[in-house]
Structure 1
Amino acid sequence: MKDHIKKVFKAGKAENAGWDDRQEMLSLFHQPGMEFDLKDHLLKDLYKTELKDMDSPNLKKLFNRIWCKIELKNHQAGSKTKYLYTAIGIAAALVIGLFVGIYINSLQTKPETVYYAAHSPKGSVSEVILPDGTVIFLNADSRVRYAMEGENGIREVFLTGEAWFDVAKNPDKPFVVHTSFYDVQVTGTQFNVKAYETDNEVVTTLEEGQVIIQSSEKLKLAEDIILKPGEQAVLSMSSKEFTIRNVNTKWFTSWKDNKLIFINTNLKELVVLLERRYGVEIEVLNKEILGLHFDGTIKNESIIEIMEIMKKALPISYKISGQQIEIASKK
């Protein structure tokens, strides 16, 4: 009987075990006549088991703790003989449950990737530090979902909105930023990705290192686009074409330092930026003024101070009611 159990377990636990071998092994647990020999086999096998998966419980230590607790109760009990059979039954039952659970779990495919999320609401800028040391600044109304062990073992981030990255170097584990439009792959560098779904452009700005813009499910590129420091890739959502240009990167990354720089920014774009930064809703009553352009820098000013600056620089008037702002042409 014991030799038969040993033979069935050996075949069922083998890496190349077939479905029939595994079914035969599991069927042993449903045969009352084999209960004692089966428990005895599991108890012996338990002490020899060393699990390779570090995330799995240490059954040897766990069983020792269970046994010690039972022994403690034994000193308080009257009948040692009665205790012995009870203890073996309790311990074996626990072992069987643990063994079956872990074994069945081992038959499953690779566990799904665990993702973590971070969100920066309107009116705020958030900083996220990943376990590998990578630093992410999230601009207003932005969110990321990230995993340090993503598909194929890579580090990956899914971005909606705008984020600045300082990626910890690890040549053996690439870092990929997924946007709704294309992917950005790096090993260690500083760059900014602006990918709001409501914007007309998706913009990647490189400060240090190198990034590679790659195809995604939504956008197929003829070839990868490699950026050098000081370069910016702009994808037009209407034409689906890229423009590569040299820029002063600070104009596009200063927001993480709580500063916005506007260079010939039209009022339509300015309204969107102010809504995100201050968490307000802005309505422009006269559409003809949307083409007005504004130059300036915002750092610690309140929304009222900003509106006063704009009022002096542009032919506009405004009215604030709670979180609502109306902008009209100056009469």
Structure 2
Amino acid sequence: MENQIKNILKRGNTENAGIESRQEMLSLFHQPEIEYALKDELVKELEGWNASEASSPNLKKIFANIWTTIKKQERQKKAKIRYLNMGMRIAAALVIGLLLGVFVTSRVTREAPVFYTAHSPLGSVSELELPDGTTIFLNSGSDIKYSVNSKRNPREVFLDGEAWFQVERDKKRPFVVHTPLYNVQVTGTKFNVKAYKSENRVTTTLEEGEVVISSDKNSQINRDFVLNPGQQLALSGGSGKPEIQQVNPKWFTAWKDNKLILVNMPLKELIVLLERKYGVEFVIKDDSVLNYHCDAAFQGESLIELMDILKKMIAIDYKVVGQTIEITTSETSKKEGK
């Protein structure tokens, strides 16, 4: 991708470039998926500018040959070129504005990180790749804010929800996940963090590598903890006492592959999970069902298929009412209880 961008910029900015090459170059600025790579190339060009020579780089000079080429061809295709010329002027103005923005970002605020936010809506799982190559799966109803702009700044994200990380190794720049209760610091590894603010509990499960649960001033733990593969640390808000146990990481990361693995999971906890996964609301008509526990594995089932299985497993009844699902104790269970 980087070489492709370089070639397009080179072709579009040569003296003899045709209109098609100019259009292809300017079209780069309307493609969000290559934003990071494009900005990197622009910053590299601006790095060569000497601040002592002028108050600002002569950005218009970069596009001067665009107007020269268009004017040469204007006589041959006057009507057509007039319309194109206006479009090119507008596009070039946007490009110059973007260049100025990149210049200001790279020169004035280079030391301050720039953050973007990603959101995974209810009923879906999102995947994103950070500029450093780190892969993130974002679970339903989750938000993550991440820094992108400078190799001099630490790699850090702020999580509200659940995410699975495969972090690219960089010992000089550790990767930090900020959560409401503690921070998770790594240099390169695979791990899962569940940190929904509404639950007031943060759980970190390590799949590969090593992570450090850090005790900074905003943390609710009083010392650092190092996790090894297969270990999980959970902390509830206000408790100050982390719970560390050995687990099977696959049970806690299966969601990213559209799987559900339930191991003695309370129905109360399962309902919250299903509300996020399917984007529905549950209404409990009989609180006694919340004491039921589930052991099962699902993959790709619809909500109705899953509810039919649960109905047989744990003796519940359910009814779909609009966008909600009402749950009660099954009639069979009621009769047996009499």
Normalising to structure 2: TM-score of the pair?
Answer: 0.67
- Helix, strand or coil for the counterpart of 2:143? strand
Number of the residue aligned with 1:207: 207
In the TM superposition, what are the counterparts of 1:104-119 in structure 2 within 5 Å? 112-119=112-119
Number of the residue aligned with 2:282: 282
> Measured at CA, do residues 289 and 171 of structure 1 come closer, stay the same or move farther in structure 2, by a change above 3 Å?
same
> 1:108 deviation in Å?
5.8
> Measured at CA, do residues 142 and 152 of structure 1 come closer, stay the same or move farther in structure 2, by a change above 3 Å?
same
Please give the per-residue CA displacement for 1:274-326, whole angstroms capped at 9, x wherever unaligned: 00110100011111221111111121111101111111011211100232100
- Helix, strand or coil for the counterpart of 1:51? coil
CA contact (8 A) 2:111 2:150 kept: no
CA contact (8 A) 2:113 2:149 kept: yes
- Which range moves more in the overlay, 259-268 or 111-120? 111-120
> 1:240 deviation in Å?
2.6
CA contact (8 A) 2:135 2:166 kept: yes
> Measured at CA, do residues 311 and 173 of structure 1 come closer, stay the same or move farther in structure 2, by a change above 3 Å?
same
CA distance in 2, matches of 1:52, 1:272: 56
Q: Is residue 158 from structure 1 mapped to residue 158 from structure 2 by the alignment?
A: yes
CA distance in 1, matches of 2:141, 2:206: 22
Number of the residue aligned with 1:303: 303
- Helix, strand or coil for the counterpart of 1:136? strand
CA contact (8 A) 1:117 1:143 kept: yes
> Measured at CA, do residues 274 and 150 of structure 1 come closer, stay the same or move farther in structure 2, by a change above 3 Å?
farther
CA contact (8 A) 2:183 2:219 kept: no
4+ aligned runs moved over 2 Å, structure 1? 49-53, 56-59, 61-70, 105-113, 148-152, 215-222
Number of the residue aligned with 1:51: 50
CA contact (8 A) 1:184 1:214 kept: yes
Number of the residue aligned with 2:237: 237
- Helix, strand or coil for the counterpart of 2:117? strand
User: For the pair shown, which has the larger CA radius of gyration, 1 or 2?
Assistant: 1
Cα root mean square deviation, aligned? 3.2
Number of the residue aligned with 2:184: 184
Number of the residue aligned with 1:194: 194
Please give the per-residue CA displacement for 1:94-138, whole angstroms capped at 9, x wherever unaligned: xxxxxxx99xx7996656421111111111111011111110000
In the TM superposition, what are the counterparts of 1:65-80 in structure 2 within 5 Å? none
Identity of matched residues, %? 49
Query: Structure 1: where are the runs of 5+ without partners?
Result: 1-48, 74-100
Query: Which letter does structure 1 place at the counterpart of 2:261?
Result: I
Query: Which letter does structure 1 place at the counterpart of 2:191?
Result: F
CA contact (8 A) 1:113 1:149 kept: yes
> 1:237 deviation in Å?
2.4
- Helix, strand or coil for the counterpart of 1:170? coil
> 1:236 deviation in Å?
2.1
CA contact (8 A) 2:220 2:237 kept: no
> Measured at CA, do residues 308 and 127 of structure 1 come closer, stay the same or move farther in structure 2, by a change above 3 Å?
same
> Measured at CA, do residues 326 and 192 of structure 1 come closer, stay the same or move farther in structure 2, by a change above 3 Å?
same
- Helix, strand or coil for the counterpart of 1:198? helix
CA contact (8 A) 1:192 1:205 kept: yes
- Helix, strand or coil for the counterpart of 2:256? helix
Query: Which letter does structure 2 place at the counterpart of 1:190?
Result: K
CA distance in 2, matches of 1:209, 1:275: 32
Number of the residue aligned with 1:38: none
Query: Structure 2: where are the runs of 5+ without partners?
Result: 1-47, 72-99, 332-338
- Helix, strand or coil for the counterpart of 2:140? coil
Please give the per-residue CA displacement for 1:180-200, whole angstroms capped at 9, x wherever unaligned: 111111111000000011225
CA contact (8 A) 1:176 1:184 kept: yes
CA distance in 1, matches of 2:239, 2:197: 15
Number of the residue aligned with 2:322: 322
CA contact (8 A) 1:150 1:156 kept: no
- Helix, strand or coil for the counterpart of 2:320? strand
- Helix, strand or coil for the counterpart of 1:272? helix
CA contact (8 A) 2:111 2:153 kept: no
CA distance in 2, matches of 1:65, 1:258: 49
Number of the residue aligned with 2:313: 313
- Which range moves more in the overlay, 143-152 or 180-189? 143-152
> 1:139 deviation in Å?
0.7
- Helix, strand or coil for the counterpart of 1:153? coil
In the TM superposition, what are the counterparts of 1:19-30 in structure 2 within 5 Å? none
Number of the residue aligned with 1:43: none
> Measured at CA, do residues 138 and 57 of structure 1 come closer, stay the same or move farther in structure 2, by a change above 3 Å?
farther
CA distance in 1, matches of 2:138, 2:51: 38
CA distance in 1, matches of 2:138, 2:49: 43
Please give the per-residue CA displacement for 1:29-81, whole angstroms capped at 9, x wherever unaligned: xxxxxxxxxxxxxxxxxxxx94269xx9743x7458669979x99xxxxxxxx
Query: Which letter does structure 2 place at the counterpart of 1:258?
Result: N
Normalising to structure 1: TM-score of the pair?
Answer: 0.68
Q: Is residue 224 from structure 1 mapped to residue 254 from structure 2 by the alignment?
A: no
CA distance in 2, matches of 1:152, 1:273: 38
CA distance in 2, matches of 1:156, 1:64: 35
